[in-house]
Amino acid sequence: MTHKNFPHLFSPFQINNLSLKNRIISTGHETHLNDHGEIGDRMVAYHEARARGGAGLIMTEVALVHPGAVFVADPIRVDTDDCIPGYRRLANVLHGYDCGLISQLFHPGREIVASEDGTAPVSYSASSVPNERFHVLPRPMPTALIEEVIEYYGNAGARMREAGLDGVEIVGSHAYLPAQFLNPGVNQRDDKYGGSLENRLRFVREVADNIRAKTDDSFVIGMRLSGDERSPDGLGVDDMVEICAELAGDGVLDYMSVVGGSSSTLAGSIHIVPPMSEDTGYTAPFAHAIKQRTDIPIFVTGRINQPQIAEEILAKGHADMCGMTRALIADQDMPNKAFNDRADDIRACIGCNQACIGHFHEGYPISCIQNPVSGREVRYGDVAPATVARNIMVIGGGPGGMKAAAVAAGRGHNVTLYEKTAQLGGQTLLAQLLPTRAEFGGIVTNLEQEMTIAGVTVKKNCPVDMDMISNENPDAVILATGAEPRWPEFEGRESAHVVDAWQVLRNEANVGGSVVVADWRADWIGIGIAEKLAEEGCRVRLAINGYMPGQTIQMYVRDTGVGRLHKLGVEMIPYARLFGADEDTVYLQHTMSGEPIICEETDTLVLCQGHTPVNTMEDQLRESGFEVHLVGDCLAPRTAEEAVLEGFRAGITV
């Protein structure tokens, strides 16, 4: 039966002997949920949630096929038989939900981020050509090592077949080892693995052949490739079309999975997990170009965060299946909601990158700023209903308060949320006004819908005081009253023209033509304010109390922002502490040398100095004997991620 809203997305698909119920893939992505290099309870629970939620195919994250393939601390390994029990357990669980399972097989080549003991490892590539991002100069792989690695790929494929998986995916995307052999700029060999296109294809072909020889004809073998590496020294669309046409013609690969970007440069790396500044579905043309020259299934991944976007890509014939990984991180039940005509209930990914790839880069397990259960399924996967319905008062309608209200009401409590202004959202309403950050406002839409589904009573334009709380006499109070801009003490604060970021965004300040943005947090607010004012024609100097703009935020978001600032001519001043100001000068102090940094000809100083909690009722509530829970910035100013997590915890606690 054809689905009325998503006829292509919810049509079955066949890859070799693997029958899939729909076209939705959770593609391979780092979770940091492995158990000492193997699959354990946390990873099984994580993937099971997405299988239960309706995904048609799940791919586990990159697994190292060879002892020399270590690229981060504590990676998943498939270079010994020790991996088989964990993968077998995962396969048994996911197959119970009619969900396919494929493992990614990985060798980074020169793309080494770290090691297992903190020392810099020796890396190998096709040739001794350095990468720009990690500053690694690899050794050229001897022929004997190439042959050994090829055998290890095949052995890993055999292990996955023995574990009961449906197939494997050779990761050749993002300039990892297979792509290093394919790229003539990186592969400068003069033996049978280098030179002509046929020779440069040899490594990939022998890897695929080895896997096929050690499995069987029904075992799925796919390959992931970047349709455009988006790097000065990378492979472009035309290159990749020719490569894919050759590989598809061999009859060994069962599909190709198309993404964008390269790990080898900063500009290319942002496309590994593209931030919200990239258009949704922007990689579809890469897949379409390859699909036109091949006759095997083509997958595509890259900012496909809503079922309607995936449906459009499929309907146009640009691809056969869609990777919707972050969409499934944000809402593991996205497929089932779309299938059951509940698309409005989907918690859409906003592309912030903070708790998914951001957590991985910091060495922490994956999560989502909107969905704290992601990555915490073992701990929070089953929320118990309330044994007794209580009356809960939530004060403050920002993300933390909204999440607390939705979760508490969903458990069966009677919840009323009070917001003193006319709009829900708190600081999110300001964040979405910054350049390229409009999508961030989606968190408010999503949380409003969560509250509606849960049955929360919402009262806007309703300030709360102690008399109101006493009259309502709730069983528990959740304080989510947020914060306000922090104005530190500095010389000249009262006499110079000083405004804060909130005033700029609310158009409450008459900003002059020459501006210094004093950025204490080194986050996206300083970058965003600087970009906004530069776009409006101001001369902007961004003074960061840190070693770079965006120091505290996820690197892909930071790097794209810094690139935009450079194009706009913003002067970026790192290691700068705000010291003072007068009518036409801002005085900074270098945080290391202590020497002055003087910014003359300044009309306006804009403060991005963090926030101060608004929690004046906390002590009164405690003294009056009320059960009180603090959530988000009123507890300590941080980000939406902490606010939502604390809101969730408060909601399951009351």
HEC assignment per residue over 542-580: EEECCCCCCCCCCHHHHHHHHHHHHHHCCEEECCEEEEE
Residue 54 confidence class, pLDDT cut points 50, 70, 90: very high
CB 638 within 8 A of CB 619: no
| pLDDT at residue 72 in the model | 83
| pLDDT at residue 119 in the model | 87
CB 563 within 8 A of CB 572: no
pLDDT tens track for 334-363: 999 999 999 999 999 999 999 999 999 999
CB 552 within 8 A of CB 527: no
Question: CB under 8 Å to 288, separation ≥6 — which residues?
Answer: 316, 317, 318, 319
Q: Which of 360, 358, 367 is nearest to 555 (CA)?
A: 358
Phi, psi angle pair for 163, to nearest 5°:
-75, -10
Give the pLDDT mean for 496-512: 97
| pLDDT at residue 141 in the model | 98
Q: Would you state the torsion angle of the CA atoms of residues 534, 535, 538, 544, taken in this order, to the nearest 10 degrees? A: -20
Angle at 631 between CA 630 and CA 632, to 5 degrees: 135
With 0-12 / 13-18 / 19 or more C-beta atoms within 10 angstroms meaning exposed / middle / buried, residue 4 is exposed
Residue 149 confidence class, pLDDT cut points 50, 70, 90: very high
Give the pLDDT mean for 533-539: 98
| pLDDT at residue 113 in the model | 81
CB 417 within 8 A of CB 455: no
State which amino acid sits at residue 577: R
Q: Which of 117, 96, 94 is nearest to 43 (CA)?
A: 94
Q: Which helix (H) or strand (E) holds 624?
A: none
Structure tokens of 500?
A: 């804060």
Q: Please say if the pLDDT value at position 116 is more than 80.
A: no
CB-CB neighbours of 461 under 10 Å: 10
Give the pLDDT mean for 200-219: 98
CB 631 within 8 A of CB 401: yes
How does DSSP assign 21-84, residue by residue?
Answer: SSSEEE--------BTTB--HHHHHHHHHHHHTT-SEEEEEEEE-SGGG--SSS-EE-SSGGGH
Compute the distance between CA of residue 81 and CA of residue 385 in angstroms, rounded to an integer: 42
Compute the distance between CA of residue 364 and CA of residue 143 in angstroms, rounded to an integer: 37
Q: Please say if the pLDDT value at position 129 is more than 90.
A: yes
Sign of CA pseudo-dihedral 627, 632, 634, 636: positive
Task: Delimit the domains of the chain by residue range.
Answer: 18-379, 386-485+613-653, 498-609
Compute the distance between CA of residue 376 and CA of residue 379 in angstroms, rounded to an integer: 5
What DSSP state is assigned to residue 8? Answer: T
What DSSP state is assigned to residue 626? Answer: -
Q: Please say if the pLDDT value at position 170 is more than 80.
A: yes
Give the pLDDT mean for 253-277: 97
CATH 3.40.50.720 fits 386-485+613-653, yes or no: yes
pLDDT tens track for 301-332: 999 999 999 999 999 999 999 999 999 999 99
Paired residues of 33 in beta bridges: none
| pLDDT at residue 366 in the model | 97
Distances (CA, A) of 318 to 132, 221, 237, 301: 32, 21, 14, 12
pLDDT tens track for 585-598: 999 999 999 999 99
What DSSP state is assigned to residue 255? Answer: E
Distances (CA, A) of 513 to 578, 604, 608: 20, 8, 18
pTM, two decimals, is 0.97
Identify the three-state secondary structure at position 611: strand
Give the pLDDT mean for 439-456: 98
| pLDDT at residue 577 in the model | 98
Q: Please say if the pLDDT value at position 114 is more than 80.
A: no
Q: Please say if the pLDDT value at position 71 is more than 90.
A: no
CB 606 within 8 A of CB 518: yes
Q: Please say if the pLDDT value at position 464 is more than 80.
A: yes
CATH architecture of the domain with range 498-609: 3-Layer(bba) Sandwich (3.50)
Question: CB under 8 Å to 599, separation ≥6 — which residues?
Answer: 516, 541, 543, 573, 585, 586, 587, 588
Average pLDDT of the chain? 97
How does DSSP assign 92-158, residue by residue?
Answer: HHHHTTT-EEEEEEE--TT-----SSSSPPP-EESSS---SSS---PEEPPHHHHHHHHHHHHHHHH
| pLDDT at residue 312 in the model | 98
| Percent of all residues in the chain with a pLDDT value above 70, rounded to a whole number | 100
State which amino acid sits at residue 229: E
Q: Please say if the pLDDT value at position 378 is more than 80.
A: yes
Identify the three-state secondary structure at position 587: strand
Q: b/e map of 150-178 (b: 16 or more CB within 10 Å)?
A: bbbbbbbbbbbbebbbbbbbbbbbbbbbb
Q: How many CA atoms, within 13 angstroms, populate the side-chain half-sphere of residue 16?
A: 20
| pLDDT at residue 406 in the model | 98
Structure tokens of 606?
A: 């804009």
Q: Please say if the pLDDT value at position 271 is more than 80.
A: yes
Identify the three-state secondary structure at position 454: helix
Instruction: Name residue, tokens 């980074």.
Output: 108
Our measurement of the distance from residue 56's CA atom to the centroid of its chain's CA atoms, rounded to an integer in Å, reads 21
Compute the distance between CA of residue 263 and CA of residue 268 in angstroms, rounded to an integer: 6
Identify the CATH homologous superfamily for domain 18-379: Aldolase class I (3.20.20.70)
Residue 121 confidence class, pLDDT cut points 50, 70, 90: confident
Give the pLDDT mean for 190-210: 98
Structure tokens of 542?
A: 């961004």
What DSSP state is assigned to residue 371? Answer: -
| Percent of all residues in the chain with a pLDDT value above 90, rounded to a whole number | 97
Three-state DSSP string of 291-333: HCCCCCCEEEECCCCCHHHHHHHHHCCCCCEEECHHHHHHCCC
What does DSSP say about strands 611-613 and 483-485: parallel, antiparallel, or unpaired? antiparallel
Structure tokens of 631?
A: 């959530």
CB 269 within 8 A of CB 263: yes
Our measurement of the distance from residue 31's CA atom to the centroid of its chain's CA atoms, rounded to an integer in Å, reads 11
| pLDDT at residue 189 in the model | 98
Give the pLDDT mean for 499-510: 97
Q: Please say if the pLDDT value at position 258 is more than 80.
A: yes
Structure tokens of 516?
A: 């210094």
